[in-house]
Amino acid sequence: MKYLIVGLGNIGAKYENTRHNIGFKTLDALVKASSVVFSPNRLGDTAEVGHKGRKLLLLKPSTYMNLSGKAVNYWMQAEKIPLERVLIITDDLALPFGALRLKGKGSAGGHNGLKSIGEVVGVQDYARLSFGVGNEFSKGKQVDYVLGDWSAEEEDQLGERLDKCCQIIKAFSVNTLGRVMSDFNGK
């Protein structure tokens, strides 16, 4: 059984360590722990990780955030992966730093990557793992904040939170969404 795990982010060194690229950073952590590497592919970099008999196709779209839906839709169709086996990892300003929340559906909430996926795929009913980045910015500075680097304090805590994200991704591939939400949300 194959799953599509998509980390949202923007390509290029300029964005590499920004809050908005937590999806890429999460998949990088999963790949590092699995001893595989990403390869350039159509509409993004991909890697495949095995977990308990499941195949996890990891995707870091090269389309930039605002066109993420194009890459997600392409890989869903190319690999014949149904929407219920797709997980999107994204940053979330509404959650405090490091808070993790898994949901089975929801609105884009102003997130351009999620908006693009909803527009191209045609629904908002897909699993998403939101990584809280907080909202410590002045009025009108949201873009600067999400495209800004992590603080030293956040960097110190990032490794443990990324490990938890990897646990959630693996659990998503072997349990029902409700079970994984129950096991991890709010903990």
Active site residues: 20
**82 Cβ contact partners less than 8 Å away, ≥ 6 residues apart:** 76
186: tokens are 């709010």
Task: Measure Cα distances from 185 to 34, 90, 102, 118, 140 in Å.
Answer: 24, 15, 6, 23, 30
Phi, psi dihedrals of residue 160, rounded to the nearest 5°: -65, -40
33: tokens are 């722990």
Q: CA 168, 174, 180 angle in degrees (round to 5)?
A: 40
